[in-house]
Amino acid sequence: MMILVTQKKIMSSGDGQQSQALTKPSFSEVQASALVESVFGLKVSKIQPLPSYDDQNFHVCIARTKVTTDGPNECVLKISNTESSKTPDLIEVQTHIIMFLRAAGFPTASVCRTKGDNVSSLVTVDSGSEVKSYLVRLLTYLPGRPIAEIPIGPQLLYEIGRLAAKLDKTLEKFHHPKLSSLHRENFIWNLKSVPLLEKYLYALGQNRNREIVEQVIQLFKDEVMTSLSHFRECINHGDLNDHNILIVSSESAFGDAVYQVSGILDFDDMSYGYYVFEVAITIMYMMIESKTPIQVGGHVLAGFESVVPLTPVERGALFLLVCSRFCQSLVLAAYSCQLYPENEEYLMITAKTGWKHLQQMFDMGRKAVEEIWFETAKSYESGISM
């Protein structure tokens, strides 16, 4: 993905300056296989690491035995870092949401229960010098490839917008005794936390990019913070990016590729937010790889509004919220380059596109961009998608 796969998780808990990379688990494949057997009672035939920034993930193939004739053939072992493992209530709620959404028909993973019939287990490792605890979960492996790997046309953008709205709408019915753990104060990736970016602005140096970000933060304080009470609250996935949505393709009667969403990944950024936050975040991520980024918003918005029509106040904040999400991503990418210079080349090449899109939005101005988005969305009502 362009911005945000590598740097994103550095900042994942709260707004502290401390990096979590130091707490990343470092289990070997042999140790991970032993975990699957001891915690979940399943024998591993093959295991390989999956990319992850501050947690550890493994793609696990389960061996069939006389005892385990049914159950999943492929799973993902998720080992949370030591910081995240200190918030078991939050991880428990996120895991139950994955199960709830699957039961409601969404393409989320199934959760494999431990031998003790729990959704996770806290594993303690004594390295001799210190004792560390890691939360361990096992989810089924979802088929498909990330939408980042294909050109996303208007119909798929519409479906992704619709999916985002349906997900948030469905979660209105979700109940859990620890649901309050999703009120994550100062969680840097909640859109409400945009003013917290000020402490990281030094990473940008003095240039036009910084000027744009400073303007966005000020506008956010003046216009969004004062409007929050008028936005409808909901639980946000908060990270529907082009690597967290999987698709499978089939052939239509006309020989064209038809894409269907086969998986929704990464519920680690879930928190209480607002419907308009979810659609803004989704628009921003769908813009990243697009050759016509400004056109993207209208298609995503049309899909979203086919389930949850925005109010005039929410629509009025959309442009600024998309700009704000770009700012979150780009500022924290620059900050993480200072923490991890070895990632700088990757992060800065990919961030160039993000800065270009943000500058284009700013140069065109809110009115012109909104006109494109809202006209495109309106065209769906009359059955003519632009």
Catalytic residues: 239
Q: CA nearest 52: which of 16, 10, 19?
A: 10
Task: List, in order, residues 6 or more apart from 59 with CB less than 8 Å away.
Answer: 47, 48, 49, 50, 74, 75, 76, 141
Measure Cα distances from 277 to 152, 173, 233, 318 in Å.
Answer: 22, 19, 9, 8
- The b-or-e profile of 204-237 (16+ CB within 10 A means b, else e) is beeeebbebbeebbebbeeebeebeeebeebbbb
Task: Determine the 3-state secondary structure of 57 from DSSP.
Answer: strand
Q: CA nearest 238: which of 143, 168, 320, 169?
A: 168
Q: Which amino acid makes up residue 43?
A: K
Beta strands in 231-384 (DSSP E): 233-236, 245-251, 257-264, 271-274
Q: Which residue, chain included where needed, has tokens 């106040």? A: 313
Task: Determine the 3-state secondary structure of 31 from DSSP.
Answer: helix
Task: List, in order, residues 6 or more apart from 133 with CB less than 8 Å away.
Answer: 82, 85, 122, 123, 124, 125
Q: CA nearest 123: which of 60, 46, 43, 31?
A: 31
Q: CA nearest 339: which of 14, 22, 3, 23?
A: 22
Q: CA nearest 5: which of 377, 370, 366, 350?
A: 350
